[in-house]
Amino acid sequence: MLIALTVLGCTKDEAGDSGLDAETQAIVDELNTALEDHESWSQAPEWDGIQPSETVHGEWTEIWFNDAAYSTYEAQAGGDMPDGAIVTKQAYGAEDGSGLLNHTTMFKKDGAWFWASWSPEGDLQEASFDAPSCSGCHAGGQDSIMVLTW
């Protein structure tokens, strides 16, 4: 049934219980698995540990890069992030990392960024390649990454 709906180009409202179409749900599932150990991923010297945020994300943010993203940064060879790159960020209300405000993620897939965000309770609030509320603001960064250049 889900597959049939997807072929017909269903909207979010018509899709499965999660409210997501099957393709989006598959990407979210892949992301959730990848993010299980994200607090052990690399952090950049430019944004090491919890730093005061420069924007809407919250007062304080902490950012991690998976191997694909971090090795691209380390290579300092320019270009865009490769498929499979994940950059993920937690925002907090306090410098000591208490008071989680949100968890946002960028995932490079088929040459484009998939944008996702979760509430402190883990509810999915954004999950899309087409997320103007994220991408518009990020357009100023190298391949839409705000905290690093490579």
- Residues forming contacts to ligand HEC in the complex (CB under 6 A) are 53-57, 61, 63, 87-89, 104-106, 115-117, 126, 131, 133-134, 137-138, 141, 145-147
Q: Which one, 80 or 126, has the nearer CB to ligand HEC?
A: 126
Q: Which one, 6 or 138, has the nearer CB to ligand HEC?
A: 138
First CA to last CA distance, the chain: 45
Q: Which one, 6 or 42, has the nearer CB to ligand HEC?
A: 42
Please give the sequence-ordered ranges of beta strands (E in DSSP) within 46-118, or none if there are none: 51-52, 60-65, 86-92, 100-109, 112-118
Q: What's the min distance (Å) between Cβ of 34 and ligand HEC?
A: 13
**Rounded Cα distance, 141 and 138, in Å:** 6
Q: What's the min distance (Å) between Cβ of 126 and ligand HEC?
A: 4
79 dihedral zone (left: phi>0; alpha: psi -120 to 50; beta): left
Q: What's the min distance (Å) between Cβ of 54 and ligand HEC?
A: 3
Take residue 33 and report the two structure tokens written for it: 């698995």
Q: Which one, 24 or 117, has the nearer CB to ligand HEC?
A: 117
Q: What's the min distance (Å) between Cβ of 58 and ligand HEC?
A: 7
Instruction: Find the length of the chain.
Output: 150
Take residue 26 and report the two structure tokens written for it: 């598959």
